[in-house]
A and B are shown apart, each in its own frame.
Chain A
């Protein structure tokens, strides 16, 4: 086995790699932000008094968590287009990711909310806070603080899962790599570079979550608990 590495063959494509990486980051950022919002809303709905609401949200979460992401994205891109709902590739990618992130986030956030002791809520009620204020100030922030590590690793997993969007020809990092290797026949080098870029994005995200954690949870910073 003597393989001649030739990374030079990839040099002309450096801009494509970069734009692929940026697309990956873009899809991730949008779907994490929107997905987090949906996840929090669903977590609250899961604890609501209204049984119908709980059931509807429960079905959504179960459906997403028990099917592969690739099926979800095919369903949204190909499935919906066959009934006339057509979306641009990137929009479909973000849409599928949002649906997915929302469901997983809902379960994680709900676990965090369930860990808030009812006596905390009673103390806030006794002080005269409104239901909304209690959710925001007493439940949500500490709940998210508690599940922050699970939440951030879930988001990183989803960033890696954006590679599946290449299956509907999204020009994210993996999609770009597929094109490059079929032009250059340098698959080993191409996917090696791509792997490094994914690792770089992962570390970028970890740093971002660490920084956000420091801002959002001053107690952990002050007491030196780490985030």
Chain B
């Protein structure tokens, strides 16, 4: 099994504030990893370092053969291999669902409009929103917008998908429909790093759980660490989450 993402002693500072204090973990191709931890523990920052939305001050990150901290890194090539879905969906409001999905296919992969459309259609079907192809984001519910955002990333056929609390803005019913899409993906063999507070999802879909605390990887293991935590911090965290 090949390593898809590897963080080694990653240090990230915002000015004086050290947010990641030597974070290391490895994720194999096809693995689904849930990244959990208190607010402010550095989960989002860790994800954002992986596709270089943040630059790191120390350590190294390797993603599908790209060295992220290498000054000669081709950032766009790195990002072609990584899909990212955000808590606030971040669909482009002036574009239809189809245009949102087709944009990167055309601009980054250089597809013609009709080619991109043929790619967009089945991906949208996969998230169950074929009939919304010509809608604008503001005409969709939050759950639908998030599913379009997932489809937009998927259409690029990334090797790794990053999810940053993608259901936190949604009510339970809409959360369910988004999580189902993600569980489908997980079953399909996608490599996924999922920052989440949905412990149910973590238990069902994750091969592995990484618990971060104060900018460090505090505890890691199979989904069973959620019901049987080893460190007092994770114990307390799980008690709060319930």
**Closest chain A CB from B148 CB (angstroms):** 12
Complex Cα spacing A125 to B86, Å: 13
Pick the residue among B84, B92, B138 that contacts A223 (CB under 8 A): B138
For chain B, give the interface size range: 20 to 34
- The stretch that binds B, out of A9-17, A22-30, A98-106, A116-124, is A116-124
Number of CB contacts from chain A to chain B under 8 A: 65
| Complex contact B103–A137 (CB within 8 A) | yes
Complex Cα spacing A120 to B152, Å: 14
- Within 8 Å of chain A (Cβ to Cβ): is B132? no
| Complex contact B76–A122 (CB within 8 A) | no
Given A127-B156, A128-B79 in contact, is the A120-B53 Cβ separation under 8 Å?
no
Pick the residue among B86, B92, B139, B156 that contacts A138 (CB under 8 A): B92
Give how many A residues have a beta carbon under 8 Å from the other chain's beta carbons.
21
- Within 8 Å of chain B (Cβ to Cβ): is A2? no
- Within 8 Å of chain B (Cβ to Cβ): is A219? yes
| Complex contact A122–B86 (CB within 8 A) | yes
**Closest chain A CB from B168 CB (angstroms):** 14
B 64-80 contacts with A by CB, 8 A: 76-77, 79-80
| Complex contact B136–A127 (CB within 8 A) | no
Complex Cα spacing A122 to B95, Å: 16
| Complex contact B104–A127 (CB within 8 A) | yes
Complex Cα spacing A177 to B100, Å: 53
Q: B80 contacts which chain A residues (CB < 8 A)?
A: 128
| Complex contact A219–B86 (CB within 8 A) | no
Q: B76 contacts which chain A residues (CB < 8 A)?
A: 128-130
| Complex contact B79–A125 (CB within 8 A) | yes
| Complex contact B53–A142 (CB within 8 A) | no
- Within 8 Å of chain A (Cβ to Cβ): is B60? no
A 115-164 contacts with B by CB, 8 A: 119-120, 122-130, 133, 137-138, 141-142, 145
- Within 8 Å of chain A (Cβ to Cβ): is B231? no
Q: A120 contacts which chain B residues (CB < 8 A)?
A: 90, 92
Which residues on B are within 8 Å of A, measured CB to CB? 51, 53, 76-77, 79-80, 82-84, 86, 88, 90-96, 103-104, 107-108, 136, 138-139, 149, 152-153, 156
Give me the 5 closest cross-chain CB pairs, A-B, nearest first.
A123-B90, A127-B104, A128-B79, A126-B84, A128-B108
